[in-house]
């Protein structure tokens, strides 16, 4: 089973780090890591701390990026990545724009999605914005939700 873990921010990397390391040692799993670089400098620090090397780096961060611009770059690059890698499963974490876009792109490719740290927090898609909406979208398209 080929599992593609996608993350792009420091909080995602902190929480996904132990899982990515465990997947790398599982005999029946081919673990593939993709970082988006949504928050480049802070992400690189955590990657070094956990001694994780990305198999794919989408390098989407640009100065003064907007959420729509970020989503656009992510959708385009994830579309190509999913076609190339052909994962059996995609794992995302939490409520970031990276996680939401990676989950929705996987859904479009009919790839099952695992949502690490799933579940509603506030019940109001405007608080916190856009995180609560991101989490809801992921949960709707997710195959397995890990609260």
The pLDDT value recorded for residue 147 is: 87
Task: Tell me the whole-structure pTM to 2 decimals.
Answer: 0.95
For range 38-61, the mean pLDDT: 89
* Domain contains 15: yes
Query: Which H/E stretch holds residue 133?
Result: helix 131-141
* Domain contains 92: yes
Q: Residues 46, 21: contact at Cβ < 8 Å?
A: no
Residue 38 has pLDDT above 90, yes or no: no
* Domain contains 132: yes
Supply the range of the domain harboring residue 80.
6-146
* Domain contains 1: no
Residue 45 has pLDDT above 90, yes or no: no
What rounded mean pLDDT belongs to the chain?
94
* Domain contains 117: yes
**What is the count of structural domains for the chain?**
1
Residue with tokens 């994780």: 52
CA distance 146 to 114: 7
CATH code where residue 78 lies: 3.40.50.2000
Is pLDDT larger for residue 61 or for residue 1? 1
CA-atom Rg of the chain in angstroms: 14
């Amino acid at each position: 089973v080929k599992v593609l873990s996608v993350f792009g921010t420091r909080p995602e990397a902190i929480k996904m780090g132990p899982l990515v390391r465990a997947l790398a040692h599982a005999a029946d799993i081919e673990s593939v890591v993709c970082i988006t670089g949504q928050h480049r400098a802070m992400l690189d620090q955590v990657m070094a701390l956990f001694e994780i090397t990305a198999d794919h780096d989408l390098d989407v961060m640009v100065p003064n990026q907007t959420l729509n611009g970020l989503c656009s770059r992510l959708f385009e690059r994830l579309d190509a990545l999913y076609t190339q890698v052909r994962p059996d499963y995609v794992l995302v974490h939490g409520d970031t724009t990276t996680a939401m876009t990676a989950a929705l792109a996987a859904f479009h490719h009919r790839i099952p999605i695992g949502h690490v740290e799933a579940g509603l927090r506030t019940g109001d898609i405007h608080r916190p914005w856009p995180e609560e909406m991101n989490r809801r979208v992921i949960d709707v398209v997710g195959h397995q939700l890990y609260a």
